[in-house]
């Protein structure tokens, strides 16, 4: 680009962010979706998102939108795991103008009801299978995000992001079982998790909690580790 380049010479690009915010609720992996009130794709569900402002990065925009859509307070919103997924740039993905969208994946624990914020009518937790046709290329983004999460559970400590600050190993196992849609052997799962230094730490004050009937479970919190060595492979070769 030469010095005297005219930055207004071309049809301009807009840069947006789209968010795939996941949680585990009622034994299902659910995603936060908004209902579009206006054309195009009026009446369809869509991923929450918005445009990147002139002075902010895509990551900042994503975190701002996340706070708006989930209604989380600032300090809480900053603790949420947010990760860039991919960028979608097909020339015709938005009929209004050329929009390049940077998609992010966020993982949150089971929150109180989401607040519909910003320009979107309301935001709801929906199981991806029951979402119906999505606006734009959001079905593709959602599918990519789902694949990525499943893969990352294998070799990172990401699963704890779905859990509240204090959780039981049973809850953690349910996260894996929900995301992978498999059953895991409890004794073996337990050993694997506890054998990985820094994955989870026991809460020292002998605290316990019961999820109904059954023996009370010990409480853990997320540890400082971020990677899982060796990985926790999902059973895949077996029926």
Partner DNA sequence: CCAAAAGTGTTTTTGCTACACCCATGC
Partner DNA sequence: GCATGGGTGTAGCAAAAACACTTTTGG
Contacting range for a copy of itself; rule: CB under 8 A; set: 21-29, 46-54, 74-82, 218-226:
46-54
**Residue 142 main-chain phi, psi, to 5 deg:** -65, -45
Q: Rule CB under 7 A: say whether 166 interacts with DNA.
A: no
Token pair of 121 as six digits = 């009518």
* 13 vs 166 by CB, closer to a copy of itself: 13
Q: How many CB atoms lie within 10 A of CB 4?
A: 5
Say which entry of a copy of itself, DNA, none residue 210 contacts (CB below 5 to 8 A, set by partner kind).
DNA
Show the site string, 92-121: x = touches a copy of itself by CB under 8 A, - = not. ----xxx-x-x-------------------
- Residue 194 vs 233, nearer CB to a copy of itself: 233
Q: How many residues does the chain have?
A: 239
Instruction: State which residue, 30 or 196, has the beta carbon closest to a copy of itself.
Output: 196
CA distance 168 to 219: 5
Residues in region 125-184 near a copy of itself by CB under 8 A: 155
Chosen from DNA, a copy of itself, none, partner binding at 195 (C-beta under 5 to 8 Å by type): DNA
CB 21, min distance to a copy of itself, A: 19
Rounded-to-integer distance, Cα 20 and Cα 16, Å: 14
Compute and round to an integer the Cα radius of gyration of the chain. 20
Of the candidates 116, 111, 115, 100, the residue with the CA atom closest to the CA atom of residue 22: 111
The 10 Å Cβ neighbour count of residue 134 is: 21
Q: List interacting residues with DNA (CB under 7 A).
A: 168-170, 185-188, 190-192, 195, 210-218, 230, 233, 235, 238
């Amino acid at each position: 680009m030469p010095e005297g380049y005219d930055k207004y010479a071309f049809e301009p690009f807009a840069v947006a962010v789209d968010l795939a915010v996941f949680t585990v609720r009622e034994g299902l992996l659910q995603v936060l979706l908004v209902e579009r009130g206006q054309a195009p794709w009026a009446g369809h569900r869509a991923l929450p998102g918005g445009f990147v402002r002139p002075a902010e990065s895509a990551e900042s925009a994503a975190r701002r939108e996340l706070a708006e859509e989930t209604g989380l307070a600032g300090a809480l919103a900053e603790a949420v795991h947010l990760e860039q997924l991919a960028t979608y740039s097909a020339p015709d993905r938005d009929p209004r103008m050329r929009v390049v969208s940077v998609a992010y994946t966020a993982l949150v624990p089971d929150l109180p009801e989401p607040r519909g914020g910003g320009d979107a009518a309301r935001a709801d937790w929906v199981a991806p299978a029951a979402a119906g046709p999505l606006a734009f290329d959001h079905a593709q983004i959602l599918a990519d995000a789902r694949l990525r999460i499943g893969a990352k559970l294998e070799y990172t400590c990401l699963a704890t992001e779905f859990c509240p600050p204090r959780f039981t190993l049973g809850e953690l196992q349910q996260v894996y079982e929900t995301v992978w849609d498999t059953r895991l052997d409890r004794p073996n799962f337990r050993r694997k998790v506890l054998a990985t230094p820094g994955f989870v730490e026991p809460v020292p004050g002998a605290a316990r909690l019961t999820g109904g009937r059954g023996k009370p479970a010990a409480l853990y919190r997320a540890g400082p580790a971020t990677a899982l060595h060796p990985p926790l492979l999902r059973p895949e070769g077996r029926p």
